[in-house]
Amino acid sequence: MGLNLKPLADRLVVEPNESEEVTASGIVLPETAKEKPQKGTVLAVGPGRRDESGKRIAMDVKEGDTVLYAKYGGTEVKIEAGSIQLLDERKLIVKVRIMQILHLFMHVA
């Protein structure tokens, strides 16, 4: 997605990962019945906010990270290729670390 966006402070741009369009039982969901996505890929990250003394606080996420965010957190912006979410870092719930989860799973099994 060739967007040229540079978020300010502790804001980020996330591309939502669309949910499944078919239920486990094979029912196709219409657009109006789908849940709003809460998982996405970080496309751009701001430099981080400043503390009271003016020192920059580094962001905990980077471009390419997969994140879960608050259901109605941020602002949805429609673009040609679909939509993006503009979020404050505080609206993120968790950063998904797939490789670490797979590594743990392989050692337990």
Write the pLDDT tens digit of every residue in 45-78.
999 999 999 999 999 999 999 999 988 888 999 9
pLDDT at 94: 86
Contact yes or no for 89/79 (Cβ under 8 A):
no
Query: Could you confirm whether domain 11-19+28-108 is CATH 2.30.33.40?
Result: yes
Beta strands in the chain (DSSP E): 11-16, 39-45, 66-69, 75-79, 82-88, 92-96
- Name residue 94's beta-bridge partners: 68
Nearest to 12 by CA among 81, 50, 64: 64
Q: Give the chain's end-to-end CA distance (angstroms, integer).
A: 38
Check pLDDT > 80 for residue 89.
yes
Q: Indicate the average pLDDT of the chain.
A: 81
Mean local confidence (pLDDT), 10-23: 80
Q: So what's the pLDDT on residue 96? A: 83
| In the predicted structure, residue 36 carries a pLDDT above the cut 80 | no
Task: Pick 73 or 90 by higher pLDDT.
Answer: 90
